[in-house]
Amino acid sequence: MPPIKLVIFDFDGTLFDTHRSISHCIKLTFDKLLPAQAPSEAEVHRLISSGAGLQDTFRALHPTATEDASHGDSSFDVDKWTANYRVLYANHGQPLITPFPGAAELLATLRARDIPAAIVSNKGVRAVVTTLRNNGLGDGVGEDLIVGDQTPGATRKPDPGSYTNVLLPAMRARGWTNAEEPIDDSSVLVVGDTEADIQFAANIGGAVSVWCRYGYGDKGACEELGPGFTVDSLGEIEGIIDGLS
């Protein structure tokens, strides 16, 4: 197997502990827009664990979203809900985010070994960049290798479009690879905590998946998919890279 040339991280539940920030800002959004219909904590947790995107999350949580859509009623405006959430998240969610143990050390190790780190997330790129900077990790991942909601060419995991349409061109632009000599997909390591991350690695074709058991994903469902590796901390990933080299 070729040495690892690219490590793709999920963000929520993988590099950063964001559960409290997400659930808190969902609550604040309902408090502002529909205070009488706040969802249960269990339902919010279920959606976070599934890796659902922000718009899909609000469609699932809003009590009349399905009904409105089926009747052509535009009273539920998902763009309005997500815009309000993002403003609240910037002001109230960011202070609640903390990196998982070992995140800073792992990103520093990858940088020292000239192995690029990328992030593919359902979050907006600005939110990801802000979190990295707030936690002193701004140099750990180049902004050109951060793929988020609304990134041109990005697709929802497990669809591999964010890799093929965004990350590969960015890698080529950086000079690590080019169109005549494409990166070997088996030299890509995908690190994440949900089913979508494990399936994303499989859909890339040959990429190695690392399931972060400490994250938010459904444990039974993730185990059933048979990830390449399972870790209980980010500190174990350097050893996996060494073993694959």
Amino acid 228: pLDDT: 97
pLDDT recorded at residue 183: 77
Report pLDDT for 178. 55
Within a 10 A sphere around the Cβ of 195, how many other Cβ atoms?
21
Query: Which residues of the chain carry a pLDDT beneath 70?
Result: 65-74, 177-182
**DSSP string of 64-84?**
THHHHHHTT---S-HHHHHHH
Query: Is the separation of the CB atoms in 31 and 23 below 8 Å?
Result: no
CA distance 173 to 156: 23
What is the reported pTM?
0.88
How high is the pLDDT of residue 182? 67
- Return the pLDDT at 177: 65
User: Which value, in Å, is the radius of gyration of the alpha carbons in the chain?
Assistant: 18
Q: How far apart are CA 30 and CA 21, in angstroms?
A: 14
Residue 226 CB neighbour total at 10 angstroms: 11
Token output for 142: 């180049």
Q: Which pLDDT value is given to residue 122?
A: 86
Would you state the pLDDT for residue 174? 86
Q: Is residue 159 helix, strand or coil?
A: coil
Predicted local confidence at residue 217, as pLDDT: 92
